[in-house]
């Protein structure tokens, strides 16, 4: 009997705790969406579900991937310019132009090598962080807004601070 009482208390605490978390999420999302808009909107949150979280490791992986993509784009452009210089070098007959193209090609080769060895520079803030630290929670929110006589329902993923009190941005749910 004593165990049943403990179980009921635990279930009650979990239910109250999750309700409190949902109300924090709801308040933050409501403020984010309605900020600066008229108060006569009939705004109603239909459903909130936690979709996941963004950790330090996720952020590092994303930033590293974006850095690699940007770096490759620049490398591709320099390689294209190098190919054009090689083509022009092959067509020239003047010694001065030939030397200029050779210098340009050497410079471009050096830049390409330098870029290939370049490591991400945008990860300084993560040096002392644990890879499992949560940076944001992803909350899917289905809400309705009444515009005139028409009610519109939308579903967005909101990126909230770990404590749920700040909204970083939203994206349309897929």
Q: What local confidence, expressed as pLDDT, does residue 161 receive?
A: 95
Q: Which residues in 8-162 belong to E strands, given as ranges?
A: 42-55, 134-147, 150-160
In whole angstroms, what is the distance from residue 18 CA to residue 7 CA?
17
Element (H, E) at 13: helix 2-34
Q: What local confidence, expressed as pLDDT, does residue 157 receive?
A: 96
Q: What local confidence, expressed as pLDDT, does residue 93 receive?
A: 86
User: Do 141 and 155 contact (CB within 8 A), yes or no?
Assistant: yes
Q: Compute the Cα dihedral for 21, 24, 29, 32 and give only its sign.
A: negative
Collapse the DSSP code of 166 into the 3-class scheme (helix H, G, I; strand E, B; otherwise coil) and give the result: coil
Q: What local confidence, expressed as pLDDT, does residue 174 receive?
A: 85
In whole angstroms, what is the distance from residue 17 CA to residue 10 CA?
10
User: Do 50 and 138 contact (CB within 8 A), yes or no?
Assistant: yes
Element (H, E) at 59: helix 56-91
pLDDT under 70 in the chain at which residues? 1-20, 36-41
In this prediction the pTM is 0.67
User: Do 138 and 54 contact (CB within 8 A), yes or no?
Assistant: yes
Collapse the DSSP code of 133 into the 3-class scheme (helix H, G, I; strand E, B; otherwise coil) and give the result: coil
Q: What local confidence, expressed as pLDDT, does residue 159 receive?
A: 96
Q: What local confidence, expressed as pLDDT, does residue 127 receive?
A: 83
Q: What local confidence, expressed as pLDDT, does residue 10 receive?
A: 35
Q: What local confidence, expressed as pLDDT, does residue 132 receive?
A: 94
In whole angstroms, what is the distance from residue 156 CA to residue 48 CA?
10
Rg (Cα) of the chain, in Å, rounded? 28
Tokens describing residue 99: 């030397």
């Amino acid at each position: 009997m004593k165990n049943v009482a403990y179980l009921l208390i635990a279930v009650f605490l979990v239910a109250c705790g999750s309700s409190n978390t949902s109300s924090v999420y709801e308040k933050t999302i409501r403020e984010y969406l309605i900020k600066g808009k008229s108060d006569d909107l009939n705004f109603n949150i239909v459903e909130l579900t936690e979709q996941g979280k963004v950790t330090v490791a996720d952020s590092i992986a994303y930033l590293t991937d974006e850095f690699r993509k940007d770096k490759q784009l620049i490398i591709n452009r320099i390689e294209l310019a190098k190919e054009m210089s090689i083509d022009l070098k092959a067509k020239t007959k003047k010694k001065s132009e030939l030397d200029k193209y050779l210098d340009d090609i050497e410079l471009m080769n050096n830049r390409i090598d330098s870029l290939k060895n370049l490591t991400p520079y945008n990860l300084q803030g993560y040096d002392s962080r644990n890879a499992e630290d949560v940076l944001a929670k992803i909350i899917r929110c289905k809400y309705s807004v009444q515009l005139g006589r028409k009610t519109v329902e939308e579903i967005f993923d909101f990126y909230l601070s770990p404590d749920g009190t700040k909204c970083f941005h939203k994206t349309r749910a897929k």
